[in-house]
Amino acid sequence: MPSNRVQADSLAAVHAEVTSCRRCPRLVQWREQTAAAPRASYVGQVYWGRPVPGFGDPDAHLAIVGLAPAAHGANRTGRMFTGDRSGDWLFAALHRAGYASQPTSSDRNDGLRLHDAYITAAVHCAPPANKPDPAERAACAPYLTRELELLTGVRVIVALGQFACQSVAGLYGLRPQPKFGHLAEHELPDGRTLLCSYHPSQQNTFTGVLTEPMFDAVFARARELHRQ
């Protein structure tokens, strides 16, 4: 992964560029269309309806990479994994592991703080059917590259799901693509560790593909790795 970016770059600059991005016409149309037609339970709420930036501790040892914002989750609230069932699972697990100040995340002004952790995604706009296409992932990849470059303290990157795993592996130019599996570990060229987890999607959590003990094991292992 490139490491010679101009020192003047910053997470604030990345976040500003992300929130104003309109690179992918299909995603722009979908995120704005969804924001204009809220679910019945969210009628009256003003949706964010823009790309969602990463957030968390800039000195973090742990970076968490998801797939993309949910149409009525982060696309509504403006903060990654906030306001949906996947976020309920993620922040509860992070709180149990000592990475989050509280176990719930309802909106971006709810007081949640991350300790030693930073959350972002491979794609920053909500995609139709939660499926970005390859060109959209490629268009968004420079943002993730810059975030990981700027998060100089990061030692462990947790990829939530196969899409995120492939995205991080692609940034690092890993060949062949590393095998995805829950708790699979892959050493990256810069000495960091890519740690894989099943995504805390409703499908995975409702069916028992991902359980709380399995998810807790991911963050326990992440802490072990960055202490080594």
CA–chain centroid gap for 44, Å, is 27
Q: 105-145: per-residue pLDDT in tens?
A: 999 999 999 999 999 999 999 999 999 999 999 999 999 99
Mean pLDDT calculated for residue range 210-220? 98
**DSSP state, 183?**
T
- DSSP reduced 3-state for 141: helix
> Would the pLDDT of 4 be above 50?
no
Q: Residues 5-20: what's their mean pLDDT?
A: 86
Residue bearing the bigger pLDDT, 2 or 162? 162
pTM value surpassing 0.85: yes
Q: State phi, psi for 187 to the nearest 5 degrees.
A: -80, 135
Average pLDDT, the chain: 95
Alpha carbon distance 135, 171 (integer Å): 14
Between 3 and 162, name the one with better pLDDT.
162
94-126 b/e (C-beta count within 10 Å ≥ 16 → b): bbebebbeeeebbebeeebebbbbbbbbbbbbb
SS3 of the chain: helix, strand, coil, percent, to 5: 40, 10, 50
